[in-house]
Structures are given as C-alpha cells and as structure tokens.
Structure 1
C-alpha cells in the first residue's frame, strides 16, 4: 500500500509524451543570447572581431577591457581637441578608473553568466518536458531578449546617472568637476548598469515562472535533489555573492563620498540608494531560493496528500498494523525532507549580511 500511495500522485508527472526537440530549441534560444542579450553582445564584440573561431581567455579579456574603457579613447581625442573637456586631476581620474572597473566587472560577469547558463539547458528541459506550459519558457526568454526593453533600461540608467553627477558637483568641498569626459564615463556606467539590472531581474524572475508550471519532473524520492533544482541553486549562489559584494562596495563608497562631500542632494541620494540596492539584492539573492523551496514543498505535499485522506474510522486506522504503519513511515520520511539542497542558514547569513551593512551605514550617517 505504501508503494502505491507514494507512486499514485507521481504517475501523472511521468507521461509517455516526449519532446525530443525541446532541449534543442531551448539551447538554440540561449545561443541567440550571445547576439540578442545586449550586455553579452557588447562584451564579446572585440573578441568576435579578433577571432571567428572559439574565443580564448586572452581574447575575452581584451574584449571586455576594450568595451569597458573605450571612453578613454574619446578622452584622448579631447586632450588635443578640447583640453578643458578631458580628464584632469587625480580626483577625476580616480572616479573614471572606478567607473571603468565597474564596467569591466559587469561585462565580465554577464559573459561568464551567460556561458554558465548553457549548463542549465538539459536540467531545465528535463524539468519542464511534461509540462503543458513548457513552450512559455522559450517564449518568455525570447521576449526578454528583445532589444527595445533592454535599450529602455540602458538609456534610463544613462539618463539618471548624469543628473546625479550634476547634483554631486553642486555640493561643497573638493568635488568632481563635470566635463565632457566625465559625463561620458558616467553615462556609459549608467548605460551598462541599466542593462545589468534588467538581466538580474530576469534571472530572479525565472523561478517565479517555473512555479506556475504544472506536471514538473521533480524527483519523487527527494525533490530537492532534482538536478534542475540543484543547478539553479548553484546559479543563484553565484548571483547572490556578486550582489552582496556589489551592495557592500556601493555602501562603502557612499560612506566615503558622503564624508568628503556633505550636502542635501548627495545625502538624500546616498540615504536612498543603499536601500534600493539592498532591496534588489534581497529580491535577486533570496526570492529565488524561497520560490524554489515552495515548488519543492508543493510537490512533497502532493506526494503525501493521499496519506492524509480522511478515514471512516480514525481510531481503528491508528491501531492497525501493516499498511497503516508503512503509511506513517512514508509520511514521516517525506515530511522530514529538506526543500532545498542548501541549508537555510546560508540564506539567513546572506540576509543578515545585507541588513547588517545597512544598519552600519545608517548608524554612521546618524552619528556623522
């Protein structure tokens, strides 16, 4: 009885219907990302020009550095055409180097993340192979790759970065004096930042979409150990680490900048921006784990739901031996399973780190 009880709700998840070309079409869709995901396309542009064959690490490094630092070429031209509009002074040069470093990190991580996404093709295809909504996954990815949405976020980032620079320059103290070169570096930083945010939200939205799908192929004996769930957790662990590093770095820079350049505009921005960055970090780094955990919990509930069916004689059922005892053992087993292949403490540490950094920042602001 226990074996039949456990298998009963799982059989509908294992239909004979096969979709042999779904994994190929999913892989083809992700392959299109090298051409349609704007930040990946930008990161690879020079590498593609250098070599039409497989890209090695040297060509990839040159490509990322070139695309991140091309504003310096404009600055070099401005040094001869309009010297007053080029970079000058250690403070301005340090700002441009910091902006370029962010651009390098964003482009490198985007390219590396897209390459890592190829490893998700087989697990994801197997996870949704029997789902009636499986085609929606490909359609959603193609919608997210549309150039219009990416450019909208990119230009929004560029448009918002320029006013921030203007307000910062209005503060008292030894501030950065904006000119054509500084504006160019700032707008390029905002442009890449907008695209990065666009794809971070896209990655975080994937589990939310998968949770709506029915008849997912989760391992019935231990759903948390399903290959797709394990792969996704590894992916979001990398994303969470990058986001945590970014939030802490931004807050440290905000503290230093606020100390050196006090003023109402800059203080208002520096008070709001870390909160927004922390909220994004929690959405990108915690929400996917919570959603995946709820997917696994839902599947476990479906597995053990027949064991919880009402009985005409509960007292007799509880005193029976044999099949009833086996049902109780099966229920105990599935109820004790973890809902994620990682421990909850890891997520709590991530959340605690983000919140602690915010608390330290606001304490510093209140005491300064």
Structure 2
C-alpha cells in the first residue's frame, strides 16, 4: 500500500547521549564568551545575591549602557570644552544611551531564550552524522578575535558617521570628545550585536548541510524545532525592521541641514545597507528552512515517483494507483513553513518601501 512506500523509517539512534548536554553547555558559555552578553551581565554578577532578578538585570544593563557619562564627569573638570557643546549634542548622547540599553537588554534576553532551542535542535540533528559540526561552529563563533573585530569595526563606522555629519553646514552636533565616546560605544555594541544577528541568521544554512534530519514525516513544517526557529526569527525580524526604521529616521534628521557630498553619500548608503542586512537576517532564514522542509518532502515522495515500466502497467495497478495519487496529492500540497508566506512578503515589502520612501525624500529635499 501507499503508506508503506511513503512512511520514513523510524530513527534508529534516538537522542545521542550527551549531545544535548554539550549544546546546552556551549550556550551557557555564551554568557561569558559572547561580548555583548558578558557586558550586559557584568554589573549583575558583581552585585550581592546569588540570583539575578529583573531589578539587578535592569541596573546592570543601564549601568553598562550609560558608563560614558562617568567619563563626561571627568572631562567636565579636565577639559570642559570637550563635554557637550549644545543641547543638540546632549540630546544625541542621550539617544545613543537609549540605543545601548536596548541592544544590551535584547542581547541578554535573546541569549536566555536560546536555551529553549537546545532540546529541539538536539532532537532535530540526533541522527545526523554531521551533528557535531553544529556545536563546533557555535564554539568558533564565540571566539574573541572575531567578535572584537566586528565590534571595533562598528565603533569605527560610528566615529566616521559622526565626523561626516559634524562637517555639514547649519546647527549640528559638535564633535567633542564626550560625543565621540558615546557614539563609539554605541557602535562597539552595535558591531557585536550585528555579529550575533548574522550568526543567528546563518544557523539554518548550517542545518541545511546536515543529512538525516529528524523531521516529522507526516508534516515536516510542524516539527517542533522548525516551529521554534520560526518563532525566534519572527522576533529577530521585528527587531531588525524597527532598527531599519530608526536608522532611516535618524539619517533624515541628520541630513536635513544640507550636508556635504561625502556626508550625503554616507547617510544615503547607511540605511540602504541596514535594509539589506535586515532582509538577510529576517528573510533568508525562512527561505532556508522552507528549502529544508521541501527537501524532506521530496525525499518522502520520491518512492512514488520511481520510473514505471509503462502507463499501461501503472494503470493496471488500480487500487494501488489510487492510493499513490492520494498520497502524492497530500504531500505535494503540504506547507513548507509553519507561517504564512504572505507574512514574509509583507516584511520584505515593508523594508523595501521604507528604503524607497527614504531615498525619494532625500532626492526631493
């Protein structure tokens, strides 16, 4: 019968002893080895008490986001002219601190949420010969040199943006030492945040290289690991969309005073680059997960598509042919993601539309 042909063999190995524990241990190390998470927790782990509460977490995140203000106090005595030149500069510094609080808080919360993916991921790759690659890849991503390189690159980009904006005509922020410190700290955290966003987005690409993934054969898109990953990427997509809109609004405000050609090109290209990253982080994972599910469905349907001796022979198998057609119709129409394609399309159109509106606004201004 058809169900004998399409049913995938049951996993033989079961859960690999110790693999889920190793993966959980690697994620636990992330609290110490992921730079932005370690920074977010730095004050909390030094506070008295063995248990981190919402209060201690909030204090820790706020303190690490706002520490440049301590340097401002020192500059106020040592070099008063290098603090804040005007109210606009002080307001800009405050906005960078708010962004830093958001990045630190979200990074810490996201890393804690990642622990919920351990069991589903371990079960997904339990029968895969390449399962150890997943843990090894995550450990390599935790290495300090790569993280620091991205963080300092983000600080350099932030400093360059501030330098270009400062040379524009009109009432603008004054590039004092204090302002550069606030801006570079935001860029440092932003660079490391982007490093881990790209890491999260690359996870489905890594899984696509695994064979013998344990997907639910009756409805692969409903596999617990796939559902969990889609929920995770929904949150990431929302955060990236908010980040793109914020960057575009900030660029509009900074470009409103007739910047020079260099600053104009930078302020035009930066939101476009942010939108491209948002599409990679927010859309590519869904596409890759969908291809993983589609590959599994093709493997399930493959026995039904085996070459036959001829049409007459196939038609002679009356009862079995009907079962085969029903099975093919069922598996051929299964969804490939536990979310609607329209939601992804709306996300793409929203990001692209925001970029088009921003570019048109800059051209017409």
Do the two structures share a fold, i.e. TM-score over 0.5? Answer: yes
Unaligned runs of 5+ in 1: none
Spell out the pairing of 1:122-271 with structure 2 (5 A cutoff).
Answer: 122-271=119-268
Could you tell me whether the CA contact under 8 Å between 2:130 and 2:210 is conserved in 1? yes
DSSP 3-state at the match of 2:240:
helix
Q: CA RMSD in A?
A: 1.2
Cα distance change of structure 1 residues 111 and 65 upon mapping to structure 2, 3 Å threshold: same
Residue 226 of structure 1: how far off its partner (Å)? 0.2
Residue 88 of structure 1: how far off its partner (Å)? 3.8
Could you tell me whether the CA contact under 8 Å between 2:221 and 2:335 is conserved in 1? yes
- Residue 91 of structure 2: aligned partner: 94
Cα distance change of structure 1 residues 361 and 18 upon mapping to structure 2, 3 Å threshold: closer
- Residue 110 of structure 1: aligned partner: 107
Could you tell me whether the CA contact under 8 Å between 2:15 and 2:123 is conserved in 1? no
Residue 348 of structure 1: how far off its partner (Å)? 0.3
Spell out the pairing of 1:1-368 with structure 2 (5 A cutoff).
Answer: 1-7=1-7, 10-11=8-9, 14-16=11-13, 18-318=15-315, 320-368=317-365
DSSP 3-state at the match of 2:318:
coil
Number of residue equivalences: 365
TM-score (norm 2): 0.98
Stretches of 4+ aligned residues off by more than 6 angstroms: none
DSSP 3-state at the match of 1:322:
helix
DSSP 3-state at the match of 1:172:
coil
Q: CA offsets, 1:99-126, max 9 Å, x none? A: 1111111101100110110000000000
Could you tell me whether the CA contact under 8 Å between 1:239 and 1:284 is conserved in 2? yes
Could you tell me whether the CA contact under 8 Å between 1:168 and 1:265 is conserved in 2? no
Q: CA offsets, 1:121-174, max 9 Å, x none? A: 000000001100000001000000001110111111112222221221111111
Could you tell me whether the CA contact under 8 Å between 1:120 and 1:231 is conserved in 2? yes
Q: CA offsets, 1:237-294, max 9 Å, x none? A: 0000000000011111111211134321221011111110000000000000000000
Cα distance change of structure 1 residues 51 and 138 upon mapping to structure 2, 3 Å threshold: farther
TM-score (norm 1): 0.97
Higher mean alpha-carbon deviation, 270-279 vs 290-299, is at: 270-279
Could you tell me whether the CA contact under 8 Å between 1:174 and 1:261 is conserved in 2? no
Q: CA offsets, 1:324-359, max 9 Å, x none? A: 111111111000100000000000000000000011
Quote the Cα distance in structure 1 between the aligned partners of 2:220 and 2:352: 31
Higher mean alpha-carbon deviation, 168-177 vs 126-135, is at: 168-177
Unaligned runs of 5+ in 2: none
Residue 210 of structure 1: how far off its partner (Å)? 0.1
